[in-house]
A and B are shown apart, each in its own frame.
Chain A
């Protein structure tokens, strides 16, 4: 946690050349140890990482996108690509779960991923 807090300090406040010189740093190293700062951050704290907390974080980003879409007049819900993904996924589900080797007819990348996944999961069981 100390690192979390310290990074926000480093980004926000940096370190000036004068501060670096005051520490007796050799002149050639001053530019390397000088940091502009003034970089914004947001810090989010939660008491515990639970499924509820993780869900709240996802919901927060969902609300953020909704808000940005509303302000910038961008339709955040126009996402036929997600719909396409769902259709394609429904074809892959049986290829992951069926008992016998499926006859895969996707591209070679997708075929290899499915084959590797099947091999790994059957090794485990």
Chain B
């Protein structure tokens, strides 16, 4: 039995969210980082993110709050959240090999359990890690 091929999503460039980003890109193209910083004292604290022990400062990009809003809107329109959930559920999102992807399984500690088609895949990951260590 083969996995049904998922229906093709609408072409990216026809999405209203894409058109909004494309139009905004034309406006922001001429933006100048000197002016963006001069006109907004909190920029360096606002365009930052922190997670998993990493701190990201993306304030020195030619972006505004509107850019971030439109990009997040595009990600939403493209179903990013659903794709992340599918990856974590172990859906076969690698469609040409018909395999689950489960990248987080590669980082799971030995005592974790991630079950795919009735099998806990974590022990197999750790077998490969041990093998990699012994043949380096």
Interface positions of A (Cβ within 8 A of B): 8, 11-13, 37-38, 40-47, 52-53, 55-57, 59-60, 62, 66-67, 70-73, 75, 77-78, 80, 83, 93, 96-97
Contacts and interface: CB of A to CB of B under 8 A. Distances in A.
20 contacts: A8-B60, A12-B34, A12-B60, A37-B33, A37-B34, A40-B60, A40-B62, A41-B60, A42-B56, A43-B60, A44-B55, A56-B53, A59-B103, A66-B83, A67-B80, A71-B74, A73-B11, A75-B96, A77-B95, A80-B96
Nearest to B83: A70
Contacts of A72: 12
B12 A71 contact: yes
A44 B56 contact: yes
B114 interface: no
B9 A77 contact: no
A97 B135 contact: yes
Contacts of A8: 60
Given A71-B12, A71-B75, A78-B94, A52 B33 contact: no
A42 B59 CA distance: 8
Given A37-B33, A46-B55, 20 more contacts: A13-B33, A13-B34, A42-B58, A56-B53, A57-B54, A66-B83, A66-B103, A70-B75, A70-B79, A70-B83, A71-B78, A72-B12, A73-B9, A75-B94, A77-B95, A77-B99, A77-B101, A78-B94, A78-B95, A80-B97
B14 to A, nearest CB: 11
Interface of B: 9, 11-12, 32-34, 37, 52-58, 60-62, 74-75, 78-80, 83-84, 87, 93-97, 99, 101, 103, 107, 135
Given A44-B56, A62-B103, A66-B83, A38 B32 contact: yes
Q: Of B9, B60, B61, B135, which is in contact with the most chain A CB atoms at under 10 Å from its CB?
A: B60
Closest 6 A-B residue pairs measured CB to CB? A77-B94, A40-B61, A45-B55, A43-B57, A12-B33, A12-B60
